[in-house]
């Protein structure tokens, strides 16, 4: 029979993958499995605590307490910060404001408005007309010539103080000084700055041509050679090493860890089910049997014995009381038959009442 020489599906893993996978599986079973089991136990414990302790505590204790505190704080807030100001505004400020507005409106309508109309009609208007007549006459015959003289004097003083000094300063000082500074600047530019600028330009061109350009070309060639013969081979080697590490080390290790995690989860679930079954078999089922077939009959027997003993104690107490204090008055025995919904014996008539004098006689 000819052997199948076709390559395995997926290209094969190789011996390196097998050598790495076996120790990783061993480590996963010895480390990941206990961690997963402990995790499952902690999750089950947390769920049980939340269901039987924290949930009822919140629902029956903390939530009513918080609701009561919220209602109490809201009531205190309204009582301290809302209701006093609302009552002050509604029952104090608003009536007082309305009363003041009514008082001011009445004073204006009945006092200030008539007084103002009288004052304006009989005092202010005649006084204004008189002052206007006096002002027109004075302006025409007195103030106009005086104003013209004052204006001429002010113009002369203004020219003497604010115009003529600045005109003389500009004409006889600033213009000659400015012309001299301009001539000096032109001479400096022509005979100093221009030759110095030409020399600096020539120096910069020579520096670029004979120093910076050769050095720059040498640095560029050095960078190209460094990239071509050092950085590129090193980068390709690092990329090949990273690709091989990812393909032949990290990928198998990750697959094995995922497989171990799923397997540990299944094993933990199986262990939990087995532990639950063992606990039920060893504790739950025997406890239920003991409760049903031992404790329940014993409890019933203890209850019957207790009732019998209590009835006997009551009868002995009644006998002792009868022996010490005598028998009480005999009442007719009640019939066993009772009416529906009543504790009175059917067909019984109440015994006749016996007074104290008849009993003593």
64-97 pLDDT, tens digit each: 988 888 899 888 888 888 888 888 888 888 888 8
| pLDDT for the residue numbered 17 | 60
How much is the pLDDT for 238?
Answer: 92
Q: What is the mean pLDDT of the chain?
A: 78
Residue 306 reports pLDDT greater than 60: yes
Tokens coding 51:
């269901």
Confidence of residue 330 (pLDDT cuts 50, 70, 90): low
Which has the higher per-residue pLDDT, 129 or 143?
Answer: 129
Please state, in angstroms and as integers, the Cα–Cα distance from residue 272 to each residue in 31, 47, 163, 184, following that order: 18, 14, 110, 105
Average pLDDT over residues 336-347: 47
Q: What are phi and psi of 338, to 5 degrees?
A: -125, 150
15 vs 341, higher pLDDT: 15
| Residue predicted with more confidence, 140 or 30 | 30
Report, in angstroms and rounded to the nearest whole number, the Rg of the chain calculated over CA atoms.
60
- pLDDT for 81 equals 80
Q: Each residue of 133-146: pLDDT tens digit?
A: 776 766 666 666 77
Query: What length is written for the chain?
Result: 361
Of the ranges 28-37, 45-54, 213-222, 261-270, which one carries the lowest mean pLDDT score?
28-37
Instruction: Report pLDDT digits (tens) over 145-171.
Output: 777 777 788 777 877 777 778 888 888
Residue burial 140-174, b: 16+ Cβ < 10 Å; e: rest: eeeeeeeeeeeeeeeeeeeeeeeeeeeeeeeeeee
Helices (H), the chain: 14-27, 33-49, 55-57, 63-77, 83-88, 94-107, 113-119, 125-138, 144-158, 164-169, 175-188, 194-207, 213-226, 232-245, 251-279, 285-290, 296-325, 356-360
Task: Assess contact for 249 and 20: CB atoms under 8 A.
Answer: yes
Q: What is the mean pLDDT of residues 113-134?
A: 78
Residue 266 has pLDDT above 70, yes or no: yes
By the 10 Å C-beta count (0-12 exposed, 13-18 middle, 19+ buried), 266 is classed as exposed
């Amino acid at each position: 029979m000819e052997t199948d020489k076709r390559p395995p599906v997926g290209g094969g893993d190789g011996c390196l993958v097998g050598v790495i996978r076996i120790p990783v599986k061993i480590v996963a079973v010895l480390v990941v499995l206990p961690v997963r089991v402990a995790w499952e136990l902690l999750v089950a414990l947390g769920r049980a605590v939340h269901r039987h302790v924290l949930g009822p505590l919140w629902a029956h204790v903390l939530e009513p307490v918080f609701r009561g505190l919220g209602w109490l704080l809201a009531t205190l807030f309204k009582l301290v910060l809302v209701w006093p100001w609302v009552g002050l505004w509604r029952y104090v400020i608003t009536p007082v404001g309305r009363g003041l507005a009514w008082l001011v409106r009445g004073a204006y309508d009945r006092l200030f408005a008539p007084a103002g109309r009288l004052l304006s009609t009989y005092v202010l208007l005649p006084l204004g007309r008189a002052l206007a007549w006096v002002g027109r006459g004075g302006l025409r015959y007195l103030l106009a010539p005086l104003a013209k003289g004052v204006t001429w004097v002010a113009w002369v003083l203004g020219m003497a103080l604010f115009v003529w000094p600045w005109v003389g300063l500009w004409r006889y000082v600033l213009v000659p000084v400015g012309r001299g500074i301009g001539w000096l600047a032109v001479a400096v530019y022509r005979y100093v700055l221009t030759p110095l600028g030409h020399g600096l330009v020539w120096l910069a061109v020579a520096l670029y041509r004979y120093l910076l350009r050769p050095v720059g070309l040498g640095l560029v060639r050095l960078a190209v050679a460094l990239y071509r013969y050092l950085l590129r081979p090193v980068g390709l080697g690092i990329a090949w090493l990273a690709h091989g590490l990812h393909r032949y080390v990290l990928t198998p290790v990750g697959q094995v860890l995922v497989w171990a995690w799923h397997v540990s989860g299944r094993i933990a679930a199986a262990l939990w089910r087995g532990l639950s079954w063992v606990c039920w078999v060893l504790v739950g089922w025997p406890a239920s049997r003991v409760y049903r077939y031992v404790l329940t009959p014993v409890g019933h027997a203890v209850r019957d014995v207790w009732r019998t003993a209590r009835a006997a104690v009551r009868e002995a107490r009644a006998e002792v009381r009868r022996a010490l204090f005598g028998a009480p008055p005999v009442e007719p025995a009640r019939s066993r038959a009772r009416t529906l919904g009543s504790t009175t014996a059917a067909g019984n008539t109440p015994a006749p009442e016996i007074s104290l004098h008849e009993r003593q006689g």
